Structure formats: structure tokens, C-alpha cells
């Protein structure tokens, strides 16, 4: 279940995703929240109570998610059947850029505040850091 808790303790229930959201990321301003689920993104509009389910190229649970305002993409990493690292289009869910996957379940992804570096890790214990200023896919 998803609740928006307002000042004073009042709350309203937002649309429930079809499966659990295992990662979350707000867009700047906070009016839209993305969730990572099993192969799909969930998008809640906190202003309108709107909800969308968006397919992605992931094959497993999206374990890490971060919105990059300068690039207008969602950095994502998945686990279980897939350990892929993608930049996803936040509207369509399509893979905009694909990075080298973790060899075992992906677990976390972060982008530096200046959006120059992307870091990912997984159950293999390897931390991969990409310099995003490089023009070629990695």
C-alpha cells in the first residue's frame, strides 16, 4: 500500500502498484515519485494521484533507481534474473543507454551530484564507476 502522509497526520492512499516497489526516486520538486518493481517502473503523481506502470528492458527486480535532472533519465540497476545497468527514459521506460552489467545481482546505483559519474555495485562485491563525460557506450 502507498500512503501520502500530510501535515497533521492526515493521509490519503495512492494507487497500489501491481507488485512491490523495491526502489524509489523523486524528481526535483517532489511532485513525481518513481518506483522500481519487477521489470517495470511505477510512476505516481503526488499532485493528481495519477499512477502509471511502465515496461523496461530489465528482466528482474529494479533494485536501484535515481533520477538525473540534467539528463532527464532514470539510472537503474536490477537483480535476481538480471543485473543490468541502464539509463531509462522516464516516460516510455526504454533503455537510453546500457552499461556493463554486474556479474551477480545488482544492488545499488548512484550518480554524482554533478552527474559526471555513475557508480553501481552488486552481490559480486565489485563497484563499477563510469565517467559519463565519455561519449561512447560502456
Cα separation values, 25 from 34, 111, 125, Å: 5, 12, 24
Of 110, 106, 126, the residue nearest 118 (C-alpha): 110
CA distances from 107 to 61, 85, 103, 123, 128 (A): 10, 10, 11, 7, 12
Provide the pLDDT for residue 83: 84
Domains of the chain as residue ranges with CATH: 2-131 (2.130.10.10)
Residues 84-134: tens digit of each pLDDT: 899 999 999 999 998 876 667 778 899 999 999 999 988 888 899 999 997
C-alpha cell at 14: 495512492
pLDDT digits (tens, 9 = 90+) for 16-44: 999 999 999 999 999 999 999 999 999 99
* pTM flag (> 0.75): yes
Amino acid at each position: 500500500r502507498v500512503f501520502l502522509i500530510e501535515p497533521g497526520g492526515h493521509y490519503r492512499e495512492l494507487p497500489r502498484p501491481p507488485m512491490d516497489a523495491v526502489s524509489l526516486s523523486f524528481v526535483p520538486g517532489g511532485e513525481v515519485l518513481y518506483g522500481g518493481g519487477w521489470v517495470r517502473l511505477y510512476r505516481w503523481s503526488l499532485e493528481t494521484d495519477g499512477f502509471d506502470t511502465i515496461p523496461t528492458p530489465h528482466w528482474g527486480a529494479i533494485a536501484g533507481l535515481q533520477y538525473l535532472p540534467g539528463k532527464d533519465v532514470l539510472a537503474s540497476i536490477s537483480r535476481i534474473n538480471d543485473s543490468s545497468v541502464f539509463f531509462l527514459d522516464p516516460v516510455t521506460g526504454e533503455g537510453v543507454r546500457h552499461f556493463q552489467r554486474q556479474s551477480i545481482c545488482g544492488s545499488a546505483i548512484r550518480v554524482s551530484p554533478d552527474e559526471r559519474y555513475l557508480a553501481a555495485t552488486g552481490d559480486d562485491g565489485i563497484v563499477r564507476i563510469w565517467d559519463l563525460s565519455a561519449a561512447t557506450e560502456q
